[in-house]
Structure 1
């Protein structure tokens, strides 16, 4: 296979979430054996799960520019740019509802898999969130959690988790890394697409993505805690209580950020390999949780570097696998697919169930390590979550 072919295959693999959890495949068989979607755009409005915490949720979108770093993917672009959605505890539910994504971002998400004729971009873009634009912040100082999405995925795919954590009393920064998603809209209507997808081919290049994201995320911490341009948001944050989580390569970035930045007290990896060597190294005794699909992240799997990471985690640690899950079960996408009638019949775990498991374990992890609140759910298997298996490999 040529280098160009390998890159194309990798890009297709990394955008697989659009063909399975969001837009692929509750199906019926035709007389020729082809499998066609049962329906595509029947849902007039998609909606995310309602946050269950005591706070209304506010949302502000930040355009951050790191003037000390050039963009690693497009050198002619100048300084590194990031789009960051900050969900936070609000005083009241005032202000218009926050958008899920723009129509152009949704269009590119759909076009990446050739499915723009199945689900209208406006339907995905119009997904109902439970956050309110620029709502008045709640009084007090709150822990900060950063979220990094999977490679080629926009930050919006972690919106349900961000808003739920915000409703429970966290400030949550969801980060879009420029040129690493199929489409992110920047100020002035600029749409940046996945230039990195054409440049990442080898394991070493994947590790470069992870290290670059770690620099991005540390910069976001600087901006949110430094009182320079984020104003009221920085005054809400307790800089002594910072956590980080990510999906797929975003989970690797969570670990790499912790390794490089000791301001981060706790981290979680949602179904992502680590890519860097040594996997899981440099965290000291700070807590880290790995939660992923059983099919790829059980101890006997040859497809993961989690055993290596496990051996380097020296503090509080958990290795959890979820029976019936797949790679994107830890994002919004299967939850939305269920509403569209496009759930994948090959994935036993429903989108709603995947969401509940993700919410319960990620929230418990941060409540324990950023708020010192005991969480029995993290002590071992529970009847309420029979799909979750606690691993303790030697």
Structure 2
């Protein structure tokens, strides 16, 4: 039996931090004089900024946990179960938030970083690296999506035929690792559409978590290293809003993937802890961090661009297109209209947050 796909967010975080820490440590020697630090007006108050960052760590942690856990406990509420209309509308709203996060927050940040005056004009302002990297990230996500699903479909189908660790029961083989009550005949060489969809939900949940982890590290580091209280204050509110509804979108994917308790806990933990951990690390690096240094700008800009491409692909293809082209919404024009409204409401609300953060 093939084990489910294992995403190791800790390894991803370590890799990201190795690049960012190196960039921050090099910033003092590489930053041009005019690009070395933030403005030091009335908003540059380290004591006030520290207080806000400590509040942000706990507030964002709690908000993230609430957002991602809400769908996981929805089985106890009849109206919020995955086959109900309300669940579809909530997921559509959260998908709109994820879409706007990529287009309205993460990608513009990448443009700001990679087109900064602190970077050499060639090549950074002569070529649109942000959109190029975002495009490559979207194509790579498509490839991972397709190859992973194909690979695990073949492995599960093979396991069903040869009885690799499976339990025969009344002439069928139960795929206990795939979900609740999903069975198939040992004489077929392909798995059912229901099981295929379940495997796809698992791929989607883990790839989406990857994209969220990447941009959450960057957001947390930037906030943690900032000493500008006027910037941090609205950013805390915006990130809380973002984490709540992005968490609901991820939680809905985790719920549909029908993971066991251990895997659910791992995904919830890393989603909830990544941004607060990034803030804490940024606070520790604040003495060596220069937000406009070439190294920091390049690392953050490329990571933001890659994350934007991944999030935009996931929101449009794996979340919205999958639901809107599925039988439930296709069978009800009224529900489609409500779902469209939910998407626009989520995307609009998150877009409005770009005014402050």
Q: Please say whether Structure 1 and Structure 2 have the same fold, judged by a TM-score greater than 0.5.
A: no
Under a length normalisation based on structure 2, what TM-score does the superposition of the two structures give?
A: 0.25
Relative contact order, higher structure (CA 8 A, sep 6+): 2
TM-score using structure 1 length: 0.23
Higher normalized helix content (fraction of residues)? 2
